[in-house]
Amino acid sequence: MKTQPFLELWTEARTRFSNQISSITEEDLKKKLAPSPNSLGFLIRHIGDVELLFAKNVFGASGVSVSAKTVIEKRDTGEWIHMQELKDYLIYSYDTLKSIVEKQTDADWETQITTKEFGTKTKAEALGRIVSHTAYHAGQMTMIQKYGTI
C-alpha cells in the first residue's frame, strides 16, 4: 500500500508550515522581508491556494472550486491580513487535499499528469512538489516573521 506512507510523508512535512501558524499574529501578516514583495499573509494564502490546485488538477478532485488568487495575481495585493480567515482557508485546503490523497490507489501513484507549472510527472513525483513547495515557503515565513517589517 503506497497511499498511507505518502499521506504520512506529506502530513509530517506540512508540519514545518502548520506549526508556525499559532505563533503568527494579525500584525505579522503584513510583514515583508525587503526586497521581496510578498507578505507573510500572502504566503499563507498561497500555500492554501496551491494545495487546492493540487487536489483538483493533480489528484482529480473534480468537485473542488478554487480561486487561487495568489497564483492568478502573481503578486501580493495586500488583502491577506485576517488571521482567522487564513486559518479557516488552511483547514479547508488541508482537508480537501488529504481527502483526495486518501482515495488514491497504488496504481494511481504511477499515473502521469501534466501541468504547465511543472510538466509531466507521476502523482508520486507531484506529491514531492507539494511537499517541497510548502517547506520552501515555510522557511520564507520563518524569516519574514523574525526579521520582516511592515
Q: 116 falls in which pLDDT band (50, 70, 90)?
A: confident
Whether the model pTM is above 0.85: yes
For the record, the C-alpha cell of 135 comes out as 517547506
Short-list 103, 93, 86, 104, CA closest to 130: 93
Q: 150 falls in which pLDDT band (50, 70, 90)?
A: very high
| Beta strand ranges found along the chain (DSSP E) | 112-115, 119-122
- CATH 3.90.550.10 given to domain 3-147: no
**pLDDT for residue 42:** 98
